[in-house]
Amino acid sequence: MGSTIFSKIIAGEIPCRKAYEDDRVLAFHDIKPQAPLHVLIIPKIEIPTMDDVAPNQESLVGHMVWVAAEIARREGVAKDGYRLVFNCRDNGGQEVYHIHLHLLGGRQMAWPPG
Ligand code: AMP
């Protein structure tokens, strides 16, 4: 552990505004929010990209999706709707190489994304 800024957040070395935590995942508010609600859900183990998810890690990724939906309900954006995004590598716009699920809500989203 320790190769990205998200590992340092998990280790408590860098502060975050926590939205949810359990034994498998941590969720915190994005430092540069792109919507009124912008939360990142990350696994506590280090997986660089979605391309690196192993078959035995599919339940972990499913748990990340469930946690995102739970946070959306708790934060009051579930009824109006929201967007969930995984960026993968350069073309996907990934900046931090520790997989994370973006939860974006509180405004109308555009399609297609940029
Ligand atoms: P991505 O482009 O999908 O890799 O997204 C990385 C996200 O991490 C961006 O939305 C950043 O604003 C966010 N981010 C980077 N550093 C921090 C931090 N220290 N705390 C919270 N969010 C961060």
What amino acid occupies position 36? P
Q: Can you give the residue ranges of every domain in the chain?
A: 5-105
- Among 1-5, 38-42, 101-105, 108-112, which is the least confidently predicted range? 1-5
pLDDT at 2: 60
Q: Which two tokens stand for residue 81?
A: 């709707």
Q: How confident is the model at residue 114 (pLDDT cuts 50, 70, 90)?
A: confident
Fold of 5-105: HIT family, subunit A (3.30.428)
* Residue where the block lists tokens 């280090």: 46
Whether 100 is catalytic is yes
The model's pLDDT over 24-81, given as tens digits with 9 standing for 90+, comes to 999 999 999 999 999 999 999 999 999 999 999 999 999 999 999 999 999 999 999 9
Contact, 25 vs 42, CB < 8 A?
yes
Name all residues whose Cβ lies below 6 A of ligand 1. 5, 14, 16, 28, 30-32, 40, 87, 93-96
CA 78–ligand 1 middle distance (angstroms): 22
Q: Would the pLDDT of 23 be above 60?
A: yes
- Among 29, 63, 98, 100, the active-site one is 100
- Given ligand 1 and candidates 26, 31, 103, which is best to mutate, with the most ligand atoms within 8 Å of its CB? 31
